[in-house]
Structure 1
Amino acid sequence: MSKKNDIRLLRINYLRGPNMWTYRPVLEVWLDLGELEDYPSNLLPGFNDRLTTALPALIEHHCGVGERGGFIERLRDGTWMGHVLEHIVIELLNLAGMPTGFGQTRATSQRGVYRMVFRARDEQVARAALAEGHALLMATINAEAFDVPAAVARVRDKLDDCYLGPSTAAIVAAATDRRIPHIRLNDGNLVQLGHGQRQRRIWTAETDMTSAIAEGIASDKDLTKSLLKAVGVPVPAGREIKTAAEAWEAAQDVGLPVVVKPSDGNHGRGVTLDIQTEADCEAAFKLADAHGSSVLVESYIRGNEHRLLVVGGQVVAAARGEAAWVHGDGRQTVAQLVDSQINVDPRRGLTEDFPLNRVRIAEDGVILLDLQRQGLTPDSVPEAGRQVLIQRNGNVAIDCTSEVHPEVAHAVSLAARTVGLDIAGVDLVTEDIGKPLAETGGAIVEVNAGPGLLMHLKPAGGAPQPVGQAIIDHLFAEDESGRIPIVGVAGSRGGHQITRLVAWLLHLNGRHVGLACKDGLFLGTRRVEKRNSARWDAAHRLLMNRGVNAVVVENDAASILRDGLAYDRAAVGVVTDLDGIAALAEFDVQDGDQLYKVLRTQIDVVLSDGASVLHAAHARLVDMAELSDGEVVFYAEDGALEAILHHRDRGGRAVFLRGGAAVLAQGPAETPGANIEALLRRFGSAAVDAATLLAAVAAAWALGISPELIAAGLDTFVPELHLA
């Protein structure tokens, strides 16, 4: 078989919010199969075997068949290469550690051109997986060699570069479980939870409730000790020193053995334990001095190091460290013994995916010093049977949450409160955390701001702890979701007028409103940008704004197709019509059924306690009502429409026109409302129609605004207010 030409990727578009494909972000790829349009998988000799050999886990892909092996069945029956590329990319993401289950491939109106989408939590990672998948597919088609493990490694490297760290990811996942929305604010771990005025922010395990003063105190170990001692928390005796000579003098004053450590270091760097000689003290001082601005000498507390996580004044997790030893065999060096007896542990590695760190002797001055104190170097060959201490307290990663004595928990909580941290990692040393510190002679040695959570999420031993959930419960009360009312208006008719009216009525109802529509970007009654702001980025900015507690957004079909929605869920979703197909040629939307799939996105995201507002004069929009998780409110000029009468018979709400005024009806009950004819006259050249005004009335009513305020608000609305 002759070599096949490359599949061309015509367009790559990241849909950042809910879209016509799914509720979640996806990467949408337009691709041209070229000559491969005539070669489905069953017409390429050997292709299926080569592909399943390269990616054997494809057997797990259900595909449209709905069961294990479904995609393999499609391959055997014959499927086109766009569909195959979709599954290759999904599998590469799975192998790289970003599990992905969603993908779709659909033909366009042009022969050989397809739209392929797949779930994409991060755009850059998705693009990397697409590039590798494309290369793998073409190599497989043409029976060329391809290094799958190397491709997976490249995708994983991009994932490590771009994705949230494990601590932040755990908190975000806990927020998602409670349906609290999140927005990533930088390329690192700064994340907004919730929207507008109800948002909270985290930066790994620090929150916007974390005091800068408390952080400053925690970074000064000597100051921390003095404050803890003042409130009765047991701490080791010691003092801050400046020279090696002072270190030995302080050690003798404190009483041997001692600990020498930097005053503002972290992660145990430069900390030397159980020092008993002047020479060791001098060496430990030099090591500590290289890791901090000053050095502390403290009494040595016997026992294992423990890390307890305090959230909102409560101990929510605890982990214990253990000493690491090797046993000499008379043949291997210390460095070789470390690799063969310690680093061989599959729980050890160099990334945050591993609960235990790989021991790297040559790079750890504390280990080198401890070896020196035992008369050894990394190249020494210990005699058979000799035990060699490598780390006095290895990674603190053995869960012991259930063992913590209540009095220990009280002391640790008091320590965090004394420093002033809402989230703290408290380090203590004790021989038995199941007994009060007074019995064991234990003491709290450090209080840390911004503690890592990995030891509690993926302990080397024991059960993982739900620390992400604890932090979310600390930030948000049980009945809080972090959400503010969001109103989305979709369609091609009167969207900017509807959104402006709804924003005005919300303003009169006491809300601080952000508005993004074709007339501009508004904060309250002030227009801050004059350009067309019916765009994803404009709406997204409003959700980030701490000054707003309601957001109104105009979404036309093109913006949904180009970016998706800027929000995951809405309190009210309005769809006005299914017109405007002519303007959507670039998206290959050519009929009402296709446009229906686009605009239904606005209804798909309505909250269960929200409402969908639909124009009852359009039969397809009446059908859209069944997609709403929330209430449905119909509107139309004609209140005698069958859809409205049937809806009212079932107790539903509707808004219609009678005698020039809006009527707000629920079941048989009717309330007269705003003077629509008067407002039509005031709009004048804006040429707004009655249906548009009724849509605004229905949306405001769905938001809980009273009919009386709606009527008064429309009477006072000035169409030209923001347009000068």
Structure 2
Amino acid sequence: MTQKRLVILRTMWLDGPNIWTYRSCIEALVDIQELEQFPSNLLPGFYERLTALLPGLVDHRCGIGEPGGFLLRVREGTYAAHMLEHIVIELHTQAGLEVGFGKARMTSKEGVYKMVFRTPDPVVGMACLEAGVRLLHAAIEGAEYDLQAELKVIKHHCDMHGLGPSTQHILDAAYERRIPIVRLNDGNLVQLGHGNKQQRIWTAETSKTSAIAEGIAADKDLCKELLAQCGVPVPEGEMAKSPEHAWEIAQDIGVPVVVKPVDGNWGRGVSLELTKEEDVKTAWPLADKESYTGVIVEKFIRGTEHRVLVVNYQVAAVSRGELVHVVGDGKSTLQELCNQQINTDPRRGESEIFPLRPVNVEKNPAVFLEVQRQGYTASSVIGDGVKVLIERNSNASEDVTDLIHPEIARLCCMAARVVGLDVAGIDLVCEHIDQSPKGQSLAVVEVNAGPGLLMHIKPAKGQARNVGKPIIESLFPGDANGRIPTISYSGGLEIEGFGPELTEILEDQGHKVGLACDQGLLMNGRTINKAPSANWQSGRNCLINKNLDTLVMQVKASTILSEGLPYDRASLAVITSLGAMDGLDEWDILTKEQHFNVMRTVVDLVLGSGHAVVNADEVSLLPLKDLCDGKVIWISSTADNPIVAEHVKNGGMAVVYQGESIHFMGSRAEAEQRSPIPLKQPPVSLTKTLALAAAGWAMDVPHHLLRADLRQRY
């Protein structure tokens, strides 16, 4: 059996569109060394060991496009880099992440491959890559491999660096609308859209979530007072300064009562249906421990708990809660029964991807108090058939959105409006969610800012609700997509200075432009950095700036290859040549064909509603026409360029130089009456001048203003 191993020479986090994919990924340079002589079919027992470790590989389609395709390749013989690609993808899948994209390609050096895979986060991706290398070596060598231990580490990184389920659900809805997504930190703060069109979310809080409203929701006593003043039914109660005071309040308002933290959430520190002095006094410190501002004692409302999600003052989803019990068997302790009958529920887990938490009687004070009131402890053996109540305030788990009575829905929307929350989780207790509020026990017991969405996304019973969609619709009504004009330009010396000149033209029209180019980083006329700034970070800095409404960015092959691009799609791409290949050998770009495949990225990203300005005098650029989703505007130094003539004949747009004037051609030019612009003198770079004219046209600069700008320069 061979002991041959591969080595990872280099990894790069490509945070945005790149030569491989539109989305973020990791590219690894992999040297498979002597394994180049040992494809999978020459490794005895490898297939069996690999499939035993990762049986999920059977679903990988690979070349044939059907499940089993990859394993067929393994049987027939494939190389280590290709196998590593699929192992890493499967490790993502086993960790609960759907990525589904990877490639492995040979480089010019024997045994060295570029291997790329999509991943939502660089830390998570590197953990999968490193674990994948160890798994591959173990399968080759027949060594021990603890897959579950590796997955535990990967899942830990997912918990620490990945997005929460509520945030991800909202982002999925944004992606469906093709709204740009920019993650702003390692947590759940995410920007949707760019520049002055952006909105932000932090889990289920949004840019429209008022700090005052959030503060009101957090202060349960104040919130209840405001609701009551506006006619929303709430339970009677008041603040309790001590356990003794809590019992005094309970006697005043009448038992049973609820004792809970004023600013709590997720049901922590909440004790329900308390009738005895001892229980009320015991519950007070449990609530106080979970609160910064105090404890409240309220009248207990009989009925079933419901969580009503209100978005933009409309009910988006309703979940009904459930009491959690165990039934004794005469042999097992209470904790053992909890482990057998409750903690086996797939909805329960420690991380935030689970809507419910495991029950530990000793460690959960509210559960401990509940069972203690019934005369039990965690070690009590429960008699056969005896039913023990474990949790009264378990998270809502059954979808009942279609059952809510219109009057109850109106009350919940009113509660959200009184507090002022655009996204609110209304905790409602009532006897019948499908009947009028009149004649039944009913009250709004809490209004929550930033409510969890998982109970609606993955209910235990009933229909899953796409609650991310109404949140996105409230942030981006109608056809709004949060995009600002994003302009990229590429080329060689012939286009030097294009970015600053186009920026001046756009600023003359009132645009607030961010410019990232070799001449520096400028935002709205201010120089932020004089150093060359044609890079990912500078472009991203412009996109997150709320004061800007346009991005102009110089795009180089080196940026595409080493960083990816900071924007997902472009309104306008200008490319006048492929540019120089100096230094591209670092990324194994050695031929003009490879160079073209890098630079085509700028045209690949043009929106269907956008334009690509392409130099028709550069033969190497002609294939770009068929790669553009938007409209192509050819530019040429001569009016008789056959490519231009054919394009215009078919209704296309073009800008050419003829008789010392710039001419606009095509049916659109005729409709807009775009007359020729005579130049005072031949420009130093005719190509750049034509590109400026075409870019101004694409950006709808009025013809007389574009004429004035160009004549002022030339």
Give the shorter-chain TM-score range.
over 0.9
How far apart are residue 351 of structure 1 and its match? 2.3
Aligned to 2:236: 237
Aligned to 2:206: 207
Q: Does 1:412 align with 2:412?
A: yes
Q: Pick closer, same or farther for the CA change 1:671–1:275 going to 2, 3 Å.
A: closer
Alpha-carbon distance between aligned partners in 2 of 1:151 and 1:468, rounded to the nearest angstrom: 32
Asked if 2 retains the 8 angstrom alpha-carbon contact of 1:357 and 1:395, the reply is no
How far apart are residue 679 of structure 1 and its match? 7.2
Alpha-carbon distance between aligned partners in 1 of 2:491 and 2:301, rounded to the nearest angstrom: 70
Aligned positions, number: 710
SS in 2 for 1:581: coil
* TM-score of the aligned structures, taking structure 1 as reference length: 0.95
Q: Does 1:696 align with 2:696?
A: no
Asked if 1 retains the 8 angstrom alpha-carbon contact of 2:616 and 2:622, the reply is yes
Alpha-carbon distance between aligned partners in 2 of 1:452 and 1:218, rounded to the nearest angstrom: 15
Aligned to 2:711: 715
For 1:31, the aligned partner's letter is V
Alpha-carbon distance between aligned partners in 2 of 1:76 and 1:179, rounded to the nearest angstrom: 40
Aligned to 2:466: 466
Please, which runs of 5 or more residues in structure 1 have no aligned partner? 681-687, 719-724
Asked if 1 retains the 8 angstrom alpha-carbon contact of 2:490 and 2:578, the reply is no
Asked if 2 retains the 8 angstrom alpha-carbon contact of 1:288 and 1:295, the reply is yes
Aligned to 1:523: 523
SS in 2 for 1:121: coil
Q: Pick closer, same or farther for the CA change 1:262–1:148 going to 2, 3 Å.
A: closer
How far apart are residue 65 of structure 1 and its match? 2.3
How far apart are residue 676 of structure 1 and its match? 4.4
Aligned to 1:344: 344
Q: Does 1:127 align with 2:131?
A: no
Aligned to 2:290: 291
How far apart are residue 677 of structure 1 and its match? 5.3
Aligned to 1:432: 432
Aligned to 2:532: 532
Asked if 2 retains the 8 angstrom alpha-carbon contact of 1:499 and 1:696, the reply is no
Alpha-carbon distance between aligned partners in 1 of 2:586 and 2:149, rounded to the nearest angstrom: 37
* TM-score of the aligned structures, taking structure 2 as reference length: 0.97
For 2:130, the aligned partner's letter is A
For 2:469, the aligned partner's letter is Q
Alpha-carbon distance between aligned partners in 2 of 1:383 and 1:205, rounded to the nearest angstrom: 44
Alpha-carbon distance between aligned partners in 2 of 1:674 and 1:39, rounded to the nearest angstrom: 66
Asked if 2 retains the 8 angstrom alpha-carbon contact of 1:492 and 1:556, the reply is no
Alpha-carbon distance between aligned partners in 2 of 1:284 and 1:10, rounded to the nearest angstrom: 59
Per-residue CA deviation, residues 656-715 of structure 1 (Å, 9 max, x unaligned), is 1112221111148473344445473xxxxxxx4101111121112112222322121223
Structure 2 residue corresponding to 1:671, chosen from 648, 655, 674 = 674
Q: Pick closer, same or farther for the CA change 1:545–1:282 going to 2, 3 Å.
A: same
How far apart are residue 2 of structure 1 and its match? 4.2
Larger CA deviation: 610-619 vs 189-198: 610-619
SS in 1 for 2:428: strand
Aligned to 2:179: 180
Aligned to 2:332: 332
Asked if 2 retains the 8 angstrom alpha-carbon contact of 1:200 and 1:207, the reply is yes
Asked if 2 retains the 8 angstrom alpha-carbon contact of 1:13 and 1:562, the reply is yes
For 2:458, the aligned partner's letter is K
Asked if 2 retains the 8 angstrom alpha-carbon contact of 1:262 and 1:271, the reply is yes
Larger CA deviation: 412-421 vs 78-87: 78-87
Q: Pick closer, same or farther for the CA change 1:2–1:318 going to 2, 3 Å.
A: closer
How far apart are residue 174 of structure 1 and its match? 0.5
Alpha-carbon distance between aligned partners in 2 of 1:482 and 1:446, rounded to the nearest angstrom: 33
Per-residue CA deviation, residues 23-73 of structure 1 (Å, 9 max, x unaligned), is 111211111122222222222222223222222222222212222222222
**C-alpha RMSD of matched pairs (Å):** 1.7
Alpha-carbon distance between aligned partners in 2 of 1:588 and 1:290, rounded to the nearest angstrom: 60
Aligned to 1:509: 509
Alpha-carbon distance between aligned partners in 2 of 1:679 and 1:221, rounded to the nearest angstrom: 74
Aligned to 1:600: 600
Asked if 1 retains the 8 angstrom alpha-carbon contact of 2:515 and 2:522, the reply is yes
Percentage of pairs with the same residue: 46
Alpha-carbon distance between aligned partners in 2 of 1:22 and 1:268, rounded to the nearest angstrom: 43
Alpha-carbon distance between aligned partners in 2 of 1:127 and 1:654, rounded to the nearest angstrom: 47
Aligned to 1:484: 484
Q: Pick closer, same or farther for the CA change 1:108–1:404 going to 2, 3 Å.
A: same
Q: Does 1:376 align with 2:379?
A: no
Alpha-carbon distance between aligned partners in 2 of 1:431 and 1:595, rounded to the nearest angstrom: 69
Per-residue CA deviation, residues 576-625 of structure 1 (Å, 9 max, x unaligned), is 11231233121111111101110110011100000111110122312111
How far apart are residue 377 of structure 1 and its match? 1.8
Asked if 1 retains the 8 angstrom alpha-carbon contact of 2:679 and 2:711, the reply is no
Larger CA deviation: 141-150 vs 308-317: 141-150
Mapping of residues 537-576 of structure 1, within 5 Å: 537-576=537-576
Alpha-carbon distance between aligned partners in 2 of 1:130 and 1:346, rounded to the nearest angstrom: 28
Aligned to 1:112: 111
Asked if 1 retains the 8 angstrom alpha-carbon contact of 2:195 and 2:546, the reply is yes
Q: Pick closer, same or farther for the CA change 1:500–1:50 going to 2, 3 Å.
A: same
Per-residue CA deviation, residues 328-377 of structure 1 (Å, 9 max, x unaligned), is 23322222222222223233222233333211111222222222221222
Alpha-carbon distance between aligned partners in 2 of 1:388 and 1:58, rounded to the nearest angstrom: 44
Alpha-carbon distance between aligned partners in 1 of 2:363 and 2:479, rounded to the nearest angstrom: 49
Per-residue CA deviation, residues 420-468 of structure 1 (Å, 9 max, x unaligned), is 1111111111111112223212100111111111111111211111111
Asked if 2 retains the 8 angstrom alpha-carbon contact of 1:676 and 1:693, the reply is no
Q: Pick closer, same or farther for the CA change 1:677–1:136 going to 2, 3 Å.
A: farther
Alpha-carbon distance between aligned partners in 2 of 1:96 and 1:344, rounded to the nearest angstrom: 19
Larger CA deviation: 337-346 vs 473-482: 337-346
Alpha-carbon distance between aligned partners in 1 of 2:3 and 2:699, rounded to the nearest angstrom: 61
Alpha-carbon distance between aligned partners in 1 of 2:682 and 2:547, rounded to the nearest angstrom: 30
Alpha-carbon distance between aligned partners in 2 of 1:226 and 1:671, rounded to the nearest angstrom: 65
Alpha-carbon distance between aligned partners in 1 of 2:144 and 2:276, rounded to the nearest angstrom: 62
Alpha-carbon distance between aligned partners in 1 of 2:678 and 2:533, rounded to the nearest angstrom: 29
Alpha-carbon distance between aligned partners in 2 of 1:407 and 1:36, rounded to the nearest angstrom: 70
For 1:672, the aligned partner's letter is S
How far apart are residue 285 of structure 1 and its match? 2.0
Per-residue CA deviation, residues 367-407 of structure 1 (Å, 9 max, x unaligned), is 22222221222222233332211112322221111111111
Alpha-carbon distance between aligned partners in 2 of 1:325 and 1:2, rounded to the nearest angstrom: 56
Alpha-carbon distance between aligned partners in 2 of 1:435 and 1:494, rounded to the nearest angstrom: 74
For 1:691, the aligned partner's letter is T
Larger CA deviation: 348-357 vs 23-32: 348-357
Alpha-carbon distance between aligned partners in 2 of 1:624 and 1:47, rounded to the nearest angstrom: 44
Larger CA deviation: 190-199 vs 116-125: 116-125
Larger CA deviation: 498-507 vs 599-608: 498-507
SS in 1 for 2:674: strand
How far apart are residue 204 of structure 1 and its match? 0.5
Asked if 2 retains the 8 angstrom alpha-carbon contact of 1:679 and 1:715, the reply is no
How far apart are residue 629 of structure 1 and its match? 0.5
Asked if 2 retains the 8 angstrom alpha-carbon contact of 1:352 and 1:454, the reply is no
Alpha-carbon distance between aligned partners in 2 of 1:422 and 1:141, rounded to the nearest angstrom: 56
Aligned to 2:261: 262
For 2:374, the aligned partner's letter is Q
Q: Pick closer, same or farther for the CA change 1:372–1:59 going to 2, 3 Å.
A: closer
Asked if 2 retains the 8 angstrom alpha-carbon contact of 1:664 and 1:707, the reply is no
Alpha-carbon distance between aligned partners in 1 of 2:362 and 2:379, rounded to the nearest angstrom: 10
Mapping of residues 575-594 of structure 1, within 5 Å: 575-594=575-594
